């Protein structure tokens, strides 16, 4: 199996909850960051692996590069066991 990093658009699955003057941002019940509001505009702070760009949220995730790819380790016998 081989994995590659993909940038996934998760904007429509991010929710927010106000608390202590800021909005806590969640993705699938996990807090991924905060958004605070000020005179200079909104400030977004996200955990590693998440990004905000042009009012959209993205997650960087490892995904299989080939869905049908199989790997068999048979002690260097070229896939034969």
Closest to 34 measured CA to CA, from 48, 49, 17: 17
Q: Which of 59-63, 65-69, 77-81 has the highest mean pLDDT?
A: 59-63
Residue 77 predicted with pLDDT over 70: no
Answer whether 24's CB lies under 8 Å from 45's CB: no
Percent of the chain predicted with pLDDT > 70 = 79
If one compares 55 and 64, the residue with the highest pLDDT of the two is: 55
Mean pLDDT of 53-77: 76
Answer whether 16's CB lies under 8 Å from 24's CB: yes
Residue 13 per-residue DSSP state:
G
**Measured between alpha carbons, how far is 81 from 77 in angstroms, rounded to an integer?**
7
Residue 78 per-residue DSSP state:
T
């Amino acid at each position: 199996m081989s994995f590659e990093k993909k940038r996934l658009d998760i904007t429509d699955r991010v929710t927010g909850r106000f608390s202590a003057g800021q909005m806590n941002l969640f993705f699938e019940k996990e807090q991924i960051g905060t958004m605070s509001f000020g005179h200079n505009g909104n400030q977004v702070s996200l955990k590693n692996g998440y990004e905000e760009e042009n009012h959209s949220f993205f997650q960087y995730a490892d995904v299989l590069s080939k869905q049908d790819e199989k790997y068999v380790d048979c002690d260097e016998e070229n896939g034969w066991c």
